[in-house]
Amino acid sequence: MRLSLFRIMIALLAFAGAAFASDLDLRQLNGLESRVEFWKKVFTQYGQDDVILHDRANVHLIYDVVKDDAVESRTAQVKRGLQEIAANLKTPENLSPAARQIRSAIVDSGIPVSASTIEQLRGNIHTQRGIKERFRDGIVRSGRYVDSFRETFAKEGVPAAIALLPLVESSFENQAFSTAGAAGIWQFTRGTGRLYMRVSGKVDERLDPAKATNAAARLLRDNYKALGSWPLAITAYNHGRAGMMRAKEAAGPELPSIIDNYRGRLFGYASANFFSEFVAAVQVYENYTQHFGELVLDKPGGTITPTIVAARPRQAAAAVSDKYKVRKGDTLGRIARQFDTTIRELMAKNNLRNATIYAGQILAIE
């Protein structure tokens, strides 16, 4: 009798785990479709030399795609065009060709042309670098790991699709280190890593793909238990569980509502887009031949070449905040582009009266 009860309990736990893991439908985007499409372009159309000028909140509103040396001049031109649109709200026929093109982009993006909207757009111009090459390389590297990662996630009751999250975090590069102190395929910071594995001066299991994957699965499962949905649990991987609990309390349980209405101090561009990036990554991965042609994926156990990967502009694996130490030759504009923020936001976060910075200065990024 005791043995039978034990078997029943095991069966119930297995059933519960399966139901737990199935609660993720990436087809139900509920208003995030335009964000997902933007990130698919970042992953497949624009390369490392392309800088996308777009709106920080309405990310799908793209003004232009330029090279590094044209960012500042083109941004100034877009601002002038928006100012011209504001001055000709009732007489759009008087707009110059450049301003008319910007106005058409706004209308085509489904954004109303009004005085208040144009004022918001003028302060919201943002840059995003394309990562087509990096994303393609990540798909190739994924062949070493993705099957085993999916198995680990399934055992922990986490949807197997989330095993592709490293496409966004590290491009499946195990020796990836960020300037925020995150490491490994799953980009754990030291603090968060210590909650789920051994991280010390002698042992750093963040660089052990199997152990880090198990840790990531348990972290995501804990996020889900606390937040009640996978979109919030995945966003919490970037923004932190406590931060997302505050966001949920303030703006409700739906991620689109949180993105539109929550104004938490640390809930910025990176956190607002993290889930959409993930969905876009999965969609591209599932149809990668349409975007990159036939690729020969690495095989499990293949040779790993250590590489230092530039930090993605996000709070890696639930870090509380990001700091950046200014280096010789840095400008506030360059740092803003590196971390996908604006000069205005950096100045506000760091109480700067002007854009002057100095080597060794510590800046709060997000």
Pair (140, 219) in one structural domain: yes
User: Do residues 292 and 208 share a domain?
Assistant: yes
Q: Do residues 187 and 202 make contact, with C-beta atoms less than 8 angstroms apart?
A: no
* Confidence at residue 4, expressed as pLDDT on a 0 to 100 scale: 53
Same domain, 211 and 284: yes
- The arrangement of strands across the sheet holding 51-55 comes to 62-66, 51-55, 125-129
Tokens of 127: 């840059």
Residue 45 lies in a domain: no
| Domain range for 102 | 66-127
Tell me how many degrees the CA angle 34-35-40 measures, rounded to the nearest 5.
Answer: 95
Instruction: Give the domain-ending residue among 99, 127, 155.
Output: 127
Helix (H, G, I), strand (E, B) or coil at 202: coil
Note whether residue 159 is domain-resident. yes
Q: At CA 271, angle to CA 319 and CA 170, rounded to 5? A: 65
pTM: 0.79
> For the chain, what is the domain count?
3
Residues 100 and 248 in one domain: no
Do both 258 and 140 map to the same domain?
yes
Answer yes or no: is 352 within a domain.
Answer: yes
Q: Residues 148, 257: one domain? A: yes
25 Cβ neighbours under 8 A, 6+ residues apart: none
Q: What is the pLDDT of residues 197-213, one digit of tens each?
A: 999 889 999 999 999 99
Q: What are 83-117's pLDDT values in tens digits?
A: 999 999 999 999 999 999 999 999 999 999 999 99
**Do residue 313 and residue 346 come from a single domain?**
no
pLDDT less than 70: residues of the chain: 1-22, 302-323, 337-340, 366
Q: Is 359 left (phi over 0), alpha (psi -120 to 50) or beta?
A: beta
CATH of the domain at 353: 3.10.350.10
233 and 162 part of one domain: yes
Whether residue 232 lies inside any domain: the answer is: yes
- Residue 21 has a pLDDT of 53
